Structure 1
């Protein structure tokens, strides 16, 4: 079936050469255009395809739904210290009250008291809790995080990311996304 392809549709799941996703959260996806370009540059193998295809006057190709890199990319050992990765480490919940709305981050030891912006001094907080704690120490505010902050590994973030699947998961991706899930009898 040849269709007019919307750039937002038909993303390709990108697997490393060992058939594991490059990333779980955000899920390693390429647009169909990038996937086709990588096929023509001989950088990937097509593992699975959509029913949809693109064509030119002299060529037709099914759109890849899963591709694997031909060369293995060594995963990062230490994830970047970003707001998103802090939220992911803390499962997108306030570490004081457990809610998941209006998230920001809080310095356990306030910057006004010498606290630094580091993995082990930052926690996810909702706006009301962050405002309530203010520039106080956790003990003085009577607010202690549910989980002690830590510097996560890429593995920690991948495991956390598995709990937040994207809105769209194509059926051809399932064997590669949940390869460590228990098998059903």
Structure 2
């Protein structure tokens, strides 16, 4: 079984068949998925061709599972660095460059040195060069206004934004559940 470690994750859907999260994508290890199946917490929606065996059982590994009980989305998302980046589409709010999270920082629009607080309404994603250039000045003093006014996002808007950043690996069986509300091509 150790040859399977880290392989064959299961996409986890809520009871309404929407992913619990898009970014990061809601995935469980195959071990956790099988455990949830045996505890009757999930329904198996789709399976991999790969099978696992024990002395008394053989089963296909689940590729898509749905929770039996609906888990409501949090009304207010946590104020985290990652969620600020996701709200701002991983884009510096001053120069407009889209960057990986490790190349972003955040900026206080009204600097802390001038009484600015660390809140959704005062923090934006920012690249290091823009952050250094702005320093502890107000936007009007340096001609740097955020592209979008910072505001607290809803949990739904963060979930929606996450759809634009697909993971590196998408199993074919997941596609119908990840982009089910996308416009389909007409042929």
Structure 1 length normalisation: TM-score? Answer: 0.95
Distance 1:68 1:159 in 2: 19
Question: CA contact under 8 A between 1:100 and 1:126: conserved in structure 2?
Answer: no
Distance 2:160 2:70 in 1: 21
1:119 aligned counterpart, secondary structure: coil
Match of 1:26 in 2: 24
Taking the aligned partners of 1:144 and 1:79, their CA distance within structure 2 comes to 25
Distance in 2 between residues matched to 1:6 and 1:58, nearest whole Å: 20
List runs of 5+ in structure 1 lacking aligned partners: none
How far off its partner does 1:57 sit? 2.4
- CA displacement 1:30-73 (0-9 Å, x = unmatched): 01011001001110000000001111222211100000001111
Report whether the alignment pairs 1:44 with 2:45.
no
Residue 67 of structure 1 corresponds to 65
User: Once the two structures are superposed, what CA deviation does each residue of 1:97-119 show, in whole Å capped at 9, x if it has no partner?
Assistant: 11234210000000011100000
C-alpha root-mean-square deviation of aligned residues, in Å? 1.2
Q: Provide the secondary structure at the position in 1 that maps to 2:113.
A: helix
Paired residue total: 183
Give unpaired runs (5+ residues) of structure 2: none
Displacement over 4 Å in runs of 4+: none
